[in-house]
Chains A and B, each alone.
Chain A
Amino acid sequence: MLITNNFNRFFWGTFIKDIHSNLKVLRWNNIDFMIYKLDSQGLHDLLKIVTFNNKSLKEMENVEVVKYLEDIRVLLSDNSFTLKIDEEEWQRLLRSCGIEK
């Protein structure tokens, strides 16, 4: 997908930042990842691994980006973690980034 400033703001500034700042441990496959030991890029790398996504954001189609983000939300939900942005805001942000469902 085309990485716009809007998307960068949403992905790094809101999405990743929220997880990085507020989630201490991410459990996946009975493995506990200490999120505070990772930087933002490391967290993104980890999220790609645990969602079985081996493409970079640039290589992904819009629909793949949406699926990637949704997979992360499910994983976070399994970890009893809810992103601060609510559903309405989530949809608005996705639209503003041109990655509507």
Chain B
Amino acid sequence: MSSKETGVFNILNAIDVGNHIEQKNGLSYLSWAWAWSTVKSIFPKTTYKVYENEQGLNYHHDNKTAWVKVGVTIEDECIEYLPVMDFKNKSIPLSALTSMDVNKAIQRALTKAIARQGLGLYVYAGEDLPESAKYLNEDQTLELESLIAKTGTDKATLLQYYKVRDLKEVDYNHCLAMLNKKLNVDHK
């Protein structure tokens, strides 16, 4: 991966998408319109492409179900394949497919392709939202406290790293991963 690619990814991945998450059927979604406008405002030359099949249709199929193929290019292209699904996230049979279903799949694939470029990737990774105002619960805090003790980490330095005053304010998933990594290294 070139340094330019890394730069694009790191910058997009540093964006707090917490206020732009939509919940549907218990799953988190990023608004495609917000994701696209955000990427374009930072990297104006960004383009996207909906790949058509050999018949010129904006979806692909295997005679049973269908999927869409969408690419987003910033420095390099990231391609996302997404099945055309219903509201239960089940593939829609080809015979029941509507243009609206395909359109929705294209929008979702576009957002996921943008996520591959870095924006809101943690939403798809199932991570917690890193909102600065969101505090950890007691169990999470105790877990981190325990790992801090086990790894001999200086708590003050850790808080300084996250620029917070209390352990409850740190990015839980990031901190947990970092401490676990340190624990594993120490054990080796």
Which residues of A are at the interface with B, using a C-beta cutoff of 8 A?
Answer: 21-22, 24-25, 29, 31-39, 41-42, 45-46, 49
Contacts and interface: CB of A to CB of B under 8 A. Distances in A.
Given A24-B163, A36-B161, A36-B163, A46 B14 contact: yes
Contacts of B14: 33-35, 37-38, 42, 46
A29 B114 CA distance: 19
A25 to B, nearest CB: 7
B11 A38 contact: yes
Contact of A32 (B15, B161, B162): B15
Contacts of B38: 31
Contact of A33 (B16, B19, B163): B16
Given A34-B130, A49-B11, A49-B43, 12 more contacts: A29-B41, A31-B15, A31-B41, A32-B15, A32-B19, A33-B11, A33-B14, A33-B15, A34-B14, A34-B16, A38-B11, A42-B7
B10 A42 contact: yes
B42 interface: yes
Q: Which 6 A-B pairs have the closest CB atoms?
A: A37-B14, A32-B16, A42-B10, A45-B7, A24-B163, A34-B14
Contact of B132 (A22, A24, A33, A45): A24
B interface residue count range (under 10 / 10 to 19 / 20 to 34 / 35 or more): 10 to 19
Contacts of A41: 7
Task: Please classify the interface of chain B as helix (H, G, I), strand (E, B), loop, or mixed, using the class held by over half of its residues.
Answer: helix
A36 B16 CA distance: 11
23 contacts: A22-B163, A25-B16, A25-B132, A29-B41, A31-B15, A31-B38, A31-B42, A32-B16, A33-B11, A33-B16, A34-B130, A36-B163, A37-B10, A37-B13, A37-B14, A38-B11, A38-B14, A42-B7, A42-B10, A42-B11, A42-B14, A45-B11, A49-B43
Nearest to A26: B14
Nearest to B19: A32
B11 A46 contact: yes
A7 B7 CA distance: 23
Contacts of A22: 163
Interface string B1-31: 0000001001101111001000000000000
A97 to B, nearest CB: 25
B69 to A, nearest CB: 28
B76 to A, nearest CB: 16
Nearest to A52: B44
A38 B7 CA distance: 9
Contacts of B41: 29, 31
